[in-house]
Structure 1
Amino acid sequence: MDEALVRATIPHDLVKVLGVKINSKVEAFTQAFLKNSLQHHTRHDLKTVLSYKAVILGYTRPKKDKLKRNRKKAKGLSAQQKRTMKIFQIKPEHQRYKLFLPLHELWRQYITDLCSGLKPTSSPQFVQQKLLKADFHGAIITVVRSKCPSYVGTTGILVQEFKHVFKIITKEDKLKVIPKRNSVFAVEINGFISHIYGSKFEQRASERSAKKFKVRGTIDL
């Protein structure tokens, strides 16, 4: 559309038809307001300023709140803080074998489902591969070999697994801390007896579940 047509005044013969009222006071106010608002354009007349004024359209990124910028992410407790607060310590009154029997039953159900039912026809290699990445909290384990002879024969429910040690509760309601390194553990599940070689098992349960194990002859758990 031609700009001249847009700026042209309405013909007098159409004023009555369209019902447009031209108020001289309104026009005078508008001119005075624009002139006052554009005082810094003193070198040009009002018509020139309005005709050739450049209007830049763009997106202005909102300023970030300084409080949000200075806000730091919440950090978890350090290992030293956890030890100081004794988060992972089991209280003496809770070191009872019977209290963890329900956990053992849940583990048996979990490991049976994980190994597709643990049928008599199940392949030992298949079961061992599943156990490599399984969580053993609740399993009954027995130390069958160890560099320290006093650990051999110790049996109990695994209540805590760390990177380098197993913590088990024995039937005598005693908490035993068994190092993984230089120890071999036996786990019995529905007739399947698997051996865990602690030296090859020095990882947290969460890390072990994501690790890829290579099968080389016999599988060391």
Structure 2
Amino acid sequence: STEALVRAPLPRELLKVLGPQSGSKAAAFTEAFLGSSLQRPGNHDLKNLLTHKAVILGYARPKKQKTKRSSKRAKGLTAQQKKALKVFQIRPEHQRYELFLPLHDLWRRYVLDLCAGLKPTCSPQFVQQKLLKADLHGAIITVVRSKCPSYVGQSGILLQEFKHVFKIITREDRLKVIPKRNSVFSVEVNGFVSHIYGSRFEQRASERSAKKFKVHGSIDL
């Protein structure tokens, strides 16, 4: 029977080959047996399979092909070219206060939307912070204090704002250039009057929107 065959002692020929005294012969037999029994691809080495060593495979992400972007950028006009072309110059026939009243109306609506309607419950600090970063082109500004007495009382619609000066048109149709430094300006919107210290306001309109202003108790002119 099968059980009797399993329990039968090994023949002497196999005992000599597989016995404990012949370890090298047993290892050779095991390797030959496995080599004939295992189905392996031709490119695999049997000795590498029997050593049970882990193989670390290298991996590299495929490189993305960089699209060539044109290095040429549209260059704007230089300061000398703008001056030669008179880009910022307002012609005498356009220096009329009435022509810029619609611009002032647009600015008032812009500030009302910016300050959530300018309700009576709005705090002056809230309105002040909004106006400090707002675009003032079209606002009516008035010089309330200045080291130069001739500037005090000058009022008009702001047409152009530069880093160091305001350019306004007065009710008398006169174009005035007022330096920001050493002057204090007032801006009125729906009864809210805000004062601007020009010495702390020497930035361009585009730069002022990202600037953090500090609260000062008083500033000497």
Structure-2-length-normalised TM-score: 0.66
Separation in structure 2 between the aligned mates of residue 143 and residue 80 of structure 1, nearest angstrom: 31
> C-alpha displacement at 1:106, in angstroms?
0.4
Q: Secondary structure, in 3 states, of the residue corresponding to 1:144?
A: strand
Deviations 1:139-191 (A, max 9, x none): 00111111111111111000000000000000110100000000111111111
What's the counterpart of residue 213 of structure 2?
213
What's the counterpart of residue 131 of structure 1?
131
Q: Where does 1:86-125 land on structure 2 (aligned, <5 Å)?
A: 86-125=86-125
Deviations 1:26-72 (A, max 9, x none): xxxxxxxxxxxxxxxxxxxxxxxxxxxxxxxxx9x8xx8xxx98x84
What is the RMSD of the two structures over their aligned residues, measured on CA atoms? 2.9
Q: Secondary structure, in 3 states, of the residue corresponding to 1:210?
A: coil
Q: Secondary structure, in 3 states, of the residue corresponding to 1:122?
A: coil
> C-alpha displacement at 1:195, in angstroms?
0.6
The 1:161–1:155 alpha-carbon spacing in structure 2 relative to 1, beyond 3 Å, is same
Q: Secondary structure, in 3 states, of the residue corresponding to 2:131?
A: helix
What's the counterpart of residue 202 of structure 1?
202
Aligned residue type for 1:89: Q
Of 95-104 and 206-215, the range deviating more from structure 2: 206-215
Separation in structure 1 between the aligned mates of residue 74 and residue 153 of structure 2, nearest angstrom: 45
Deviations 1:76-109 (A, max 9, x none): 1111110111001000000000000000000000
Separation in structure 1 between the aligned mates of residue 204 and residue 181 of structure 2, nearest angstrom: 14
The 1:113–1:72 alpha-carbon spacing in structure 2 relative to 1, beyond 3 Å, is closer
Q: How many percent of aligned residue pairs carry the same amino acid? A: 80
Q: Secondary structure, in 3 states, of the residue corresponding to 2:108?
A: helix
What's the counterpart of residue 73 of structure 2?
73
Separation in structure 2 between the aligned mates of residue 184 and residue 91 of structure 1, nearest angstrom: 28
Separation in structure 2 between the aligned mates of residue 116 and residue 133 of structure 1, nearest angstrom: 15
Aligned residue type for 2:127: V
> C-alpha displacement at 1:218, in angstroms?
7.3
Q: Secondary structure, in 3 states, of the residue corresponding to 1:171?
A: coil
Give the count of matched residue pairs. 162
What's the counterpart of residue 180 of structure 1?
180
What's the counterpart of residue 151 of structure 2?
151
Aligned residue type for 2:160: Q
Separation in structure 2 between the aligned mates of residue 73 and residue 210 of structure 1, nearest angstrom: 25
Separation in structure 2 between the aligned mates of residue 137 and residue 147 of structure 1, nearest angstrom: 24
> C-alpha displacement at 1:202, in angstroms?
0.3
> C-alpha displacement at 1:214, in angstroms?
3.1
What's the counterpart of residue 166 of structure 2?
166
Separation in structure 2 between the aligned mates of residue 86 and residue 209 of structure 1, nearest angstrom: 27
Unpaired runs of 5+ residues, structure 2, are 1-62
Separation in structure 1 between the aligned mates of residue 113 and residue 213 of structure 2, nearest angstrom: 21
Q: Secondary structure, in 3 states, of the residue corresponding to 2:111?
A: helix
